[in-house]
A and B are shown apart, each in its own frame.
Chain A
Amino acid sequence: MEKWRATTNLRRSLKSILNRQLSSVSEFRYLNEKRSCQSSFNLIRDCKSLGQVNAIQHRCFSSASTLVQRNPSFSTLNSDDISYFKGLLGEKSVIQDEDRLETVNTDWMHKYKGSSKLLLLPRSTEEVAQILRYCNSRCLAVVPQGGNTGLVGGSVPVFDEVIVNVSSMTNIISFDKVSGILVCEAGCILENLISFLDNQGFIMPLDLGAKGSCQIGGNVSTNAGGLRLVRYGSLHGNVLGLEAVLANGDVLDMLGTLRKDNTGYDLKHLFIGSEGSLGIVTKVSILTPPKLSSVNIAFLACNDYSSCQKLLMEAKRKLGEILSAFEFLDTEAMNLVLHQLDGVRNPLPASMHNFYILIETTGSDESYNREKLEAFLLSSMEGGLISDGVLAQDINQASSFWRIREGVPEALMKAGAVYKYDLSLPVEKMYDLVDDMRIRLGDLATVVGYGHLGDGNLHLNVSAPEYDDKILEQIEPYVYEWTSKHRGSISAEHGLGLMKANKIYYSKSTETVQTMASIKKLLDPNGILNPYKVLPHSLNS
């Protein structure tokens, strides 16, 4: 069930929907009872109480602070559509089975649930193109979906959009061993690509905790960041080309494999990070770095946040080119992981420290790199920056360190309700926000801070046994305003999706957003691709 919050936008838009029936709103979530409402404020009050009554299986909650309405210009599916798709894709790729739909309608965090009645599994770009051409002509809304591991509700339908899931497109098309350029279809799971490249002596330039399920098409469409960004940079630099299908079924073949190609506007960058709202990515050409033999990883403890910062500065200077990851977690995050996950043990059991840092170095010369890392660690210890630390002696120990850092989101999910925020902030200010939130929330919830310190990216998570509006009130819009004040980004790597669709103004100017809307209108005039997400709802009408 969903809880609604009123904002000034809401009141404005509510005046226009006052005469609409509640049924159009109820399509968004399951409502057991339909009530007619006389005034906008009754609507809020009734929905709030409905939310409490009907909070059954799903811990559904949306932090969308405006009421989302199903766009009436979208058609509804009919049996002709189903027959067309069956004829186009074959029976096996057209899914209407309730159980399977249940999974694809719900996001990884069980926070957002749509009510799509149709899942399509195309196996080739041509099939995707034909699907979109048809949907565009029928004005059927579409949600592109891959691994469904997104954290902002961008990969699941809001209402009854048709889900176009590329999981069946898993071919690795080519791999050039000399240049390291990999061309593959969008449905390839990241972990599988990593294994494939491992055999060839290369690695993927990105790595994230969701690698077992996330697909490269989705990674590219959301410009996923991850653990190695500090070393290999973002996907904007590593993706050499892609093939995307526009809303009208046109296939844009920009699948270049060239390092340098300055011929015209580089349109692929529009698709990288647009979260499926400008086109469906069907193939990706990506530059992969060679696998270097010497990987070392250290798990360290610091007493306070300023030591963490200084450590980062020292690491960048002293480890320089071999630094490949710099992550941090605070003591609450560590406690949560140790408590909630099996088979995880604290590498530094002597006492609970305030901050934990994970440093990874990757280089080609084992003894040289190890000595460099050891020298850096020892001098940091002598300088008082680190209070304790361990160095992994084999691959298993290294994996166990990563398990701790990568397991934090999973542990948060197991602990109950979680409010997730992903912010880019100046490194000096990052932890101030966590401290502020702790003061604001007091006993209401546990505030956990962790993230990619090397990139200035904080994952601020508020964990509570249950979702509660009182908690949400303390968090939003304070977090966004705080971030905006320090010229940070309200979504460093997670994207906007549905959760932050109306929050873009905290980080981008009005003119910029207007231009974005124009581009969206150009590439997707009917607005069928992933509607209600990324850009503010007010721009859609």
Chain B
Amino acid sequence: MKIMVAVKRVVDYAVKIRIKPDKSGVETQNVNMSMNPFCEIALEEALKIKESGLAKEVVAVTMGPSNCVDTLRTGLAMGADRGIHVEAARDLVPLSVAKVLKKLVEVENPGLLILGKQAIDDDCNQTGQMIAALLGWPQGTFASKVVLDKEKQVATVDREVDGGLETLCLDLPAVITTDLRLNQPRYATLPNIMKAKSKPIKRYTPEELNVEIKSGLEVVQVTEPPKRKAGVILSSVDELIDKLKNEAHVI
């Protein structure tokens, strides 16, 4: 079985982000970029499944400008066997990503498609669900545990939901999106980094795949949330009641 993992290059989780002066988005020039943490978890899960003998190959896929290849290299250094880079000039919205992934799935025929539950730059949490709908595949999102049964060709997924944990049984092929507690991603070891240099990365363009990536969404403005105002120290209960009544209008 082949597993396809979608990974995204995002601003590093630990960076303090800044808004561009023209408010069109977040500053990404000269900022550390790395693989989306949820995508790392997705890749780690795929590698674990391959190591347990239930899959033969792990293919990492990414979409975006040419510097996205760095993220693919990280994926290969972690242990993925092949990389696919779909070259696209600008940021793609989840629906476009889902459409491209559908075409790639038709080419590669994986038994399992694993993604991170959301990207930390847009927090959309849509791609996994959209691709499952486009493919007509079952989906297990927010996975905190995945167990595969090769004979019955099902995946048992524990999902982290608001009420607790929900266990689903999915017929393969299926789409799984990963949540934080699924696993702890491995480090890229030097021997693997060495091997990664010779692993193949296939390049596609959306035109080659016959996918329309024009987005129906336009980002109008990005602003910082309002700064928290400093607290006020009051001297008596009367003053508190007065402020609650007349300034905050809550009583």
Binding site for B on A (CB under 8 A): 198-199, 293, 298-300, 345, 347-348, 374, 377-378, 381, 386, 388-397, 399
Contact A390 B14 (CB under 8 A): no
Q: Which one of B14, B30, B189, B194 lies within 8 Å of A394 (CB-CB)?
A: B14
Partner of B13, one of A348, A377, A396: A396
* A-B residue pairs in contact (CB < 8 Å), sample of 14: A198-B16, A199-B16, A293-B30, A293-B32, A345-B184, A347-B187, A377-B190, A378-B193, A378-B194, A386-B190, A392-B187, A395-B32, A396-B12, A396-B13
Measured CA separation A378–B12 after assembly (Å): 26
Which residue in A293, A378, A397 is a CB contact (below 8 Å) of B187? A397
* Interface of A, helix, strand, loop or mixed by DSSP: mixed
Min C-beta distance of A230 to chain B, whole Å? 22
Any chain A CB within 8 A of the CB of B217?
no
Q: Are A394 and B193 closer than 8 Å at their CB atoms? A: no
Q: What is the bound-complex CA distance between A348 and B189, given in angstroms?
A: 8
Q: Are B14's CB and A395's CB within 8 A?
A: yes
Cβ-defined contact, B16 with A393, below 8 A = no
A300 to B193, CA, bound (A): 14
Given pairs A298-B190, A395-B32, A396-B14, 17 additional interface contacts (CB within 8 A): A293-B30, A377-B193, A378-B190, A381-B191, A381-B194, A389-B189, A390-B188, A390-B189, A390-B190, A391-B187, A393-B35, A393-B77, A393-B187, A394-B32, A395-B14, A395-B15, A396-B37
CB contacts (< 8 Å) of A347 on chain B: these are: 187
| Chain A residues, CB < 8 A from B144 | none
B156: Cβ under 8 A from any A Cβ: no
B34 at interface by CB-CB < 8 Å = yes
Chain B residues proximal to chain A, CB less than 8 Å = 12-16, 30, 32, 34-35, 37, 74, 77-78, 184, 187-191, 193-194
Give A389's nearest chain B residue, CB to CB.
B190
User: How far is A395 from B15 in the complex, measured between Cα atoms in Å?
Assistant: 8
List 4 tightest A-B contacts by C-beta distance, closest first. A394-B34, A395-B14, A390-B187, A389-B190
Q: How far is the CA of A436 from the CA of B32 in the complex (A)?
A: 45
Question: Which of chain A's residues has its CB closest to B187's CB?
Answer: A390
Residues B74 and A393 in contact, CB atoms below 8 Å apart: yes
Partner of B193, one of A293, A374, A386, A397: A374
Q: How far is the CA of A374 from the CA of B74 in the complex (A)?
A: 13
Do A395 and B194 form a contact, CB below 8 Å, given A345-B184, A388-B189?
no
Q: Which residue from chain B places its CB closest to the CB of A346 in the assembled complex?
A: B187
Tell whether, in the assembled complex, residue A388 and residue B190 are in contact, meaning their CB atoms are under 8 Å apart: yes
Q: Which of B187, B188, B191, B194 has the most CB of A within 10 A?
A: B187
Q: Distance (Å) between the CB of B49 and the closest chain A CB?
A: 19
User: What is the distance, in angstroms, from A224's C-beta to the closest C-beta of chain B?
Assistant: 25
Residues of B within 8 A of A381 (CB): 190-191, 194
Which residues on A sit within 8 Å (CB–CB) of B189?
A: 348, 388-390
Q: Is the CB of A393 within 8 A of B30?
A: no
Tell me the complex Cα distance, A503–B112, Å: 67
Q: Which residues of B contact A348 (CB under 8 A)?
A: 189
A381 — nearest CB in chain B belongs to which residue?
B190
Closest A residue to B34 by beta carbon equals A394
A388–B188 Cα gap in the complex (Å)? Answer: 11
**Complex: chain B residue closest to A378, CB-CB:** B194
Q: CB-nearest residue of chain B relative to A400?
A: B187
Q: Which residue of A lies closest to B30 (CB)?
A: A293
Q: Is the CB of B13 within 8 A of A393?
A: no
> Which single member of A198, A199, A299, A393 contacts B34 (CB below 8 Å)?
A393
